[in-house]
Structure 1
């Protein structure tokens, strides 16, 4: 028996871009490109890549902030017969340096006009590559772009389409190689009617951005995404949904919770919201129904190693309780197996294995890791078929719906990003003052919060504060894997099994509230009140008057939490977008005074 291949994604893109040149193809923040413009721009860039020597089977590194140029680069790589790998300025240098070692990279693309500060990282990456790595500056390319000759270089069977980096349990990065056939299967699986205009609240560096974007483009539709400035701003993302009258949207549950208050009336055009990347909390379903009663809600599931999404569950209007991750989509097969690799009984706990055409190639130059996760599929009639061992513990209900029950290998999903918590622990324990670390996902109103519990090394003389530990983690970890909270404890509590007692750890969390013990006595009352709000949101007070909110541990979720606190105290005084520029206590205090705000009476 042979597998039936899905139509090639490159051929579908080629036909769609050429058929509707006047339609809007992509919107990223304030920038737009029509189908014809995207066709021309990607063709010109593909011609430049071929001139640099890029050939089928290689990978093009796109070191770009999120913009229309990122998507243009992705399609240009496909047109050159190559794969793409998106990284963003600020990516840890160690992670970047691993890519040319693990992949055969044909070119490195960046944009000096959009991000001049990335020059040093780009030059270092090219210089340290184990082979000559051509560098293409998009700013220079746009000044003298070659003509689009309409060429789409054919790629051999099994050629990669894109690469996504993910951390390993040892803290070492892994590069997941996704084939063109895998991406083609994803697009073909979503042929369920006209797409219209879709929205993804995701970074191109995360494969969740592909879930609706590529099916929409192949269907002649419009893909809308936030740019790098709007990505952290839920209000700005909601405005994009409303302005472009989006019909389908996808985002992680924790981010959708922030967007929902800004979407009144969107049900007039928003037919469906897809939640992916995290467990869907029950209260969020109720909030969705209250805000958008006419908009359908679906939960989808899929590790990067199985090409974005392979299970789906449409949430019924009257459902309650745990939201399942769903049933297999398209040609995907799933099996819930016990520790002896036997099918688990209905409702019994087992590990989820995924088979079918969306199972990817594996990890670049990681044969041991690939062999451990991508195993022979004894249930498939196809020779050489493999299935992916997800590490997710699930239960298969009698009605066929699969319910997620946790991880078997220490991974967490935080804000839609997969975090190998043992890898984070390994990084923390490399700090000379840290003896042992345990990283936990602590539930909260906004989803899981990554919290690091740590003990002091026996020979530690001076103990680091949260600011020093944040800086240490940022040297090796991507932003989504850096803990939001650091809790120093005397010793790790152990369960009867001898393992760390995670329930006991969470009971050691400090009580909510409080303010900075070391508040500057010379600061005015308004600044002290702001500093207290910072301490409440950041859950530590290890910051000074000149520290940025983000350097002190803030992220896209906590800045929204800070804005909510400001709104309760001074309604309408500051917009959430201002907080990304006004990132010091003094800056925010000046802006509040200009808006007529006053400190609380004492």
Structure 2
């Protein structure tokens, strides 16, 4: 769509479909179902409560809650008021949450916290907000959902939960619609401000497919989840999402795709790979899968075709600063090197330029710049960063047009398609989020015991990037921090994806001929021990020798099965600095490592644990109690092949497979 034409606002489109088909299913999150009437009434009702709390047009509503239907209701409620939304994951360090609230002109923090008795309470990190921050507004879970839906025809009555249904605010398309945080040059989050017109344009750039069912297996704090969500809501379709308990379980996500007969799905390649073994037969209704957020692994193409031969794949590309997606490539045929990220969509512009902003011929390596009506406003409260990355577009006559400097190195191939070659500034994609490794190094070097740090991106067995940190002491003979202390130190300063999963102590950094750190020498220190780089369970967990930094001395004398569970923790985390009652997520664990831990536990105790349980039962003690009643798997026969159980290898229900 030409950048000069004004697109139709997404809220107006949602309300129109609610008027045309009020009983149609608009939203499914986990087991909760909302019709268009219920969804619009819930959003309007929350908008009334926010307005009564003093939220003004142009402010930001921070949605501090685990993923649920009420999260999406909160997003549309913010639009209703002419405000923006920002989804923030619970459990963030108070200083990070405080910085976000400060930077985005936060009008309210909406959360769904309840205690064990179901009574509302304010999470302690919200109480740590500075005094001039907005008073957190509690959003009770039963405000927009009651009992789980019984099936496709079930309904959730929410109309009685609200009294005030205010008229939508008159808002300019240039007003902010949402804020997404992304890693900055210091490793600290930067808040990208995206306008209502930006969002409307990316939806209108897609061919309209009225009434279709879409699925995004992603967190709503990642903008990649928004494309199919709003495409469905703006075209009278049904948007299906996993809730916070289903998100880490690819089998449960696949079950949603099959149950709701999803037509269009999208997400990062690494997660789609885990879903594939559970999607057999889905190509009877699944027309297209959009993969984005990570480099497309060539091996995934054959896996996809073996399971879903009739489903089209698309490789798409778009940084947060250019509103979700700008380039697309229909995946077809075979590829010798890399799958292209494609051509520009919907009247957007893509330029391959040299350091003097001159267009380069096909085959020449250059930096990718993006232009058009999807370019975001910039970074909240960071005018310097905004000026550096959002520059004037000299290739258009449109007044005030800007282009975004992506920092991605690309080439234009002979067919006119863009092929990704790497990063110009040391950034890495980790679980779909851009992380600048030099910023992570700077954060580590802020620790008084760390003299120098080097952070590398190391592929695991799936080809996904994991961060490995090498560090040398500030003073010889000084007190050295443990791996857990370094994780805790980094967690308070960096986004979750920027926290290294493994820490390796070296006497000093090896230097190359130029005097710079010899990264190849550091990689050589990892050797062939992929477990040190986060590739766990590469051999039989019952017999594999743990890496040197993960010897079982730290849990010597622990009763079984705690000792066995602890050994698996060590292999997943790359260290043994944890106690029996430590939370997995405070000693270096994250959502990806939960999946890896589940694979290891599943191999040793088949069927004992579902991956979703590991988020609540997150200590060695609790997990040992869970597996205690299950007979351990028999060790493989001498000479038998051992290896990582791929998702779906173990028999069981869809919820037991991973």
TM-score of the pair, normalised by structure 1: 0.94
398-407 or 169-178: which moved more?
Answer: 169-178
Residue 87 (structure 1) aligns with: 88
Which residue number in structure 1 is paired with residue 614 of structure 2?
579
**Runs of at least 5 residues in structure 2 that lack an aligned partner in the other structure:** 145-159, 532-543, 639-658
The correspondence of residues 446-525 of structure 1 with structure 2, limited to 5 A, is 446=462, 447-458=464-475, 461-509=478-526, 511=529, 512=531, 514-515=545-546, 516-524=551-559
Note closer, same or farther for the CA distance 1:195–1:334 as it changes in structure 2 (3 Å cut).
farther
Distance 1:548 1:102, change over 3 A: closer
| Contact 1:195–1:247 (8 Å) recurs in 2 | no
The 1-side partners of 2:308 and 2:314 are apart by: 13
Shift in Å, 1:32: 1.5
Query: Contact between 2:458 and 2:466, CA under 8 Å: does it hold in 1?
Result: yes
Relative distance call for 1:538 and 1:325 in structure 2 (3 A) is same
Q: Aligned residue pairs: how many?
A: 599
User: Are 1:349 and 2:404 matched, yes or no?
Assistant: no
Do 1:450 and 1:483's aligned partners in 2 also have CA atoms closer than 8 Å?
yes
Distance 2:610 2:596 in 1: 12
Residue in 2 aligned with 1:17? Answer: 18
* Aligned partner of 2:281 among 255, 258, 265: 265
User: How far 1:599 sits from its partner (Å)?
Assistant: 7.6
Equivalence map 1:10-409=2 (5 Å): 10-113=11-114, 118-125=122-129, 127-129=131-133, 133-139=134-140, 142=143, 146-149=162-165, 151-194=167-210, 196-409=212-425
Q: Please say which of residues 328-337 and 116-125 is displaced more in the overlay.
A: 116-125
Deviations 1:124-158 (A, max 9, x none): 326243xxx24321129949954243511111341
Distance 1:117 1:506 in 2: 47
Shift of residue 522, structure 1, vs aligned partner: 2.3
For 2:365 and 2:288, how far apart are their aligned partners in 1? 31
Q: Counterpart of 1:553?
A: 588
Match of 2:575 among 540, 546, 563: 540
* Structure 1 residues 324 and 464: alpha-carbon distance in aligned structure 2, compared to 1, 3 A threshold: same
Distance 1:100 1:397, change over 3 A: same
The alpha-carbon distance between structure 1 residues 594 and 454, as it changes in their structure 2 partners (threshold 3 A), is same
Residue 434 of structure 1: aligned partner: 450
Give yes or no for contact 2:3–2:373 (8 Å, CA) kept in 1: no
Separation (CA, whole Å) in 1 of partners of 2:341 and 2:262 = 24
Distance 1:162 1:454 in 2: 38
- Supply the distance in 2 between the matched residues of 1:57 and 1:593 (Cα, whole angstroms): 54
1:593 is aligned, of 628, 632, 654, to 628
Q: Is the 8 A contact 1:217 1:223 kept in 2?
A: yes
Stretch moving more, 408-417 or 563-572: 563-572
Deviation, structure 1 residue 263: 1.5
Q: After superposition, give the CA deviation of every residue in 1:549-572 in whole Å (9 maximum; x if it has no partner).
A: 333322222222222233334433
Q: CA deviation at 1:118?
A: 4.7
TM-score (ref. length: structure 2): 0.86
Match of 1:411 among 404, 427, 432: 427
Q: CA separation in 2, counterparts of 1:2 and 1:212?
A: 22
- Cα distance in 2, alignment partners of residues 261 and 14 from structure 1: 38
SS of corresponding position for 2:397:
coil
Secondary structure (helix, strand or coil) at the match of 2:128 reads: helix
* Local SS of the residue matching 2:581: coil
Contact 1:97 1:128 in 2 (8 A): no
For the residue of structure 2 that corresponds to 1:127, the secondary structure is coil
How has the CA–CA distance of structure 1 residues 150 and 101 changed in structure 2, closer, same or farther, with 3 Å as cutoff?
closer
Work out the CA distance in 2 between the residues paired with 1:402 and 1:195: 32
The answer for unaligned runs of 5 or more in structure 1 is none
1 CA distance for matches of 2:503 and 2:132? 34
| Alpha carbons 1:450, 1:484 under 8 Å: kept | yes
SS in 2 for 1:125: coil
Q: Following the alignment from structure 1 to structure 2, what is the Cα–Cα distance between the partners of residues 289 and 598?
A: 32
- Tell me if the contact between 1:412 and 1:418 (Cα under 8 Å) persists in the aligned partners: yes
